[in-house]
Amino acid sequence: MASNVDDLISSHLDDKIDMIAATSVLQQQASDIRAQKINWQSYHQSQMISNEDFNCITALDGEKKAQYLKDNQYQSAKTFLNLLSHVSKDTTIQYLLVMIDDLLTEDRTRVDIFLDFASKRKETVWGPFLSLLNRSDGFIIHMASRIIAKLACWGQDQMPKSDLNFYLQWLKDQLTVSDNEYIQSVGRCLQMMLRVDEYRFAFVTVDGISTLISILSSRVNFQVQYQLVFCLWVLTFNPLLAEKMNKFNVIPILADILSDCAKEKVTRIILAVFRNLIEKPEDAQVSKEHCIAMVQCKVLKQLSILEQRRFDDEDITSDVEFLTERLQTSVQDLSSFDEYATEIKSGRLEWSPVHKSAKFWRENAQRLNEKNYELLRILIHLLDTSRDPLVLSVASFDIGEYVRHYPRGKHVIEQLNGKQLVMQLLGHDDPNVRYEALLAVQKLMVHNWEYLGKQLEKDSEKAPGEKEGGKVISGKA
């Protein structure tokens, strides 16, 4: 199974991405640096490098490097790491990194030269390269990062946990640097790292998925879009991550990109993510929820449009057919509560028919208590965090209807701190939010909703606090 996954990912990845990488800023600069030979003799004469390292580096920088490397693996690794640690000049460090990257690109098995050397010396191969991430020169930083990714992904030894978390956190932070001219290189490193299952979980622990989604929800060019969606796609090959993915709002964000994108490769990779979100989860209920979320995000409409277009890529045609069939089936099986629950979990509330249906609330209000009040907690969280007047209006209305139709609703909402948040919205700038908040507050303040309706007229004729039938008529809690 694992090898099949690797083959599938490889078919999307290496050849195509390396062609793209060749036009990236990093590769263009590498080409310039490669052409500027270093005068190793001057380093040797000034005794800045040892005789042993001089003989080695001049051989590696010559035409017979492949044979020398094969015969002198230990010395080659030793010299490279010595020079990276002891040479300070940026141009020389740049050249050394290009040499190392070229050696690894020519033959992936050469990563073991460095890993074996470090192992025999009982040292870490990661330290010298990770320390270069602190340099000020952008090329050095990102070429070192590229080499780290290759060492981590192509060798037999995986990156130690502490170094791995540091590196993934660094990559994640680099994605958020404004106007980062090396962002394609950062994306490429992540695309490589996330092919390794153990690295996927480490990326999640540094809050990597949220970062990918945050960047994708802003305006980025199609190449970066493709690379980051690719990262999500690779993550979804792990069934557990595929099950949790939409908690990060992946489906709504990708559905938005799908409706706007004009690039075939972006379309292809989004469809591949959607397919994995249905196929990979082991919990059938999660797959069903993902289908419903896609339906609510108008993915069926986009699939219908894509069906009218001709694609050279058979993967697109296959995925469109698969998704169309599964989403249409989910529509037929869809209950109103499924639809409601998926909408709440998406955080994209709108006045869909279920909200205003008295029948829906009579039959389903109590179901908001399921899974430790999961849906109620989401509604209350939206009241606290959303800035969208429509979301705030609908969430306020739903909380009012829950209280109206569930006898203990008022108590539950108070316990979950919902009453205070609704009352805060009474002063909101938007009149619709104020109106829905006022209605919800009225429902929260009433002892018995049905009883109140029958008593309003009688109430107005009686003095405040006058008893009828042994009960105090009051609109206050």
Q: Taking the domains of the chain in order of start, what are their residue ranges?
A: 1-204, 207-334, 358-445
Domains 1-204 and 207-334 share a fold: yes
Greater model confidence, 459 or 177: 177
Residue bearing tokens 């080695």: 56
* pLDDT band at residue 455 using 50, 70 and 90 as cut-offs: low
Instruction: Give per-residue pLDDT as tens, 145-175.
Output: 999 999 999 998 899 999 999 999 999 999 9
For domain 358-445, give the fold. Answer: 1.25.40
Greater model confidence, 101 or 3: 101
β-pair type (471-472, 467-468): antiparallel
Among candidate residues 259, 273, 191, 258, the one with its CA nearest the CA of residue 224 = 191
Query: pTM score, two decimals?
Result: 0.75
Query: What's the CA gap between 190 and 197, in Å, rounded?
Result: 13
Among candidate residues 335, 302, 334, 333, the one with its CA nearest the CA of residue 319 = 302
Q: Which CATH architecture has domain 1-204?
A: Alpha Horseshoe (1.25)
Is the pLDDT assigned to residue 124 strictly greater than 90? no
Q: What is the pLDDT of residue 469?
A: 41
Partnered with residue 38 across adjacent β-strands are none
Greater model confidence, 462 or 405: 405
Concatenated DSSP letters for 30-58?
Answer: HHHHHTS---HHHHHHTTSS-HHHHHHHH
Q: Which CATH superfamily is domain 207-334 in?
A: Leucine-rich Repeat Variant (1.25.10.10)
Q: What is the pLDDT of residue 17?
A: 47
Instruction: Give per-residue pLDDT as tens, 278-297.
Output: 999 999 989 988 998 998 88
* pLDDT band at residue 346 using 50, 70 and 90 as cut-offs: confident
Query: What's the CA gap between 415 and 335, in Å, rounded?
Result: 29
- The proportion of the chain whose per-residue pLDDT surpasses 70, expressed as a percent, equals 89
Instruction: Give per-residue pLDDT as tens, 63-106.
Output: 889 999 999 999 999 999 999 998 999 999 999 999 999 999 99
Instruction: Give per-residue pLDDT as tens, 284-341.
Output: 989 988 998 998 888 999 999 999 888 888 889 999 999 999 999 887 777 788 889 9
Contacts of 53 (CB under 8 A, 6+ apart): 78, 79, 82, 83
